[in-house]
Amino acid sequence: MKSIFRIVSLLEGISYLLLLFIATPIKYLQDNPEYVKMLGMPHGILFMLYVVLAFMIKKEMNWDNKTLGIVLVCSIIPFGTFYVDKKYLR
């Protein structure tokens, strides 16, 4: 389960960065929402999967509620999922 969470975490982090730093500026600077439409749904699915898997892996990783909270908050901070991988999953 840990390896699946690591993969989802990586993909969620990459999709968030692409959405935030590439698709959104293109949407507003070039008036072209196509990239946001293209990346939005996969990112949303990965985000929900990340949250569900974080709750599922909590017991396996012996995380207390504070650690789980940090892992969940990191999902909404740019580069946060990469921090989670380095700090809690390796």
Report domain extents, the chain. 2-85
- The pLDDT assigned to 1 comes to 87
Determine the straight-line distance between the first and last CA of the chain, rounded to whole angstroms: 13
Confidence check: pLDDT of 79 > 90: yes
Report pLDDT digits (tens) over 4-58: 999 999 999 999 999 999 999 999 999 999 999 999 999 999 999 999 999 999 9
> Do 9 and 89 meet the contact criterion of CB atoms below 8 Å apart?
yes
Q: Give the pLDDT confidence score for residue 62 in this predicted structure.
A: 92
Rounded CA-CA distance 10/64 in Å is 22
- pLDDT recorded at residue 2: 84
Residue 80: per-residue pLDDT:
94
d(CA 73, CA 67): 10
Q: Do 75 and 37 meet the contact criterion of CB atoms below 8 Å apart? A: no
pLDDT band at 61 (very low <50, low <70, confident <90, very high): very high
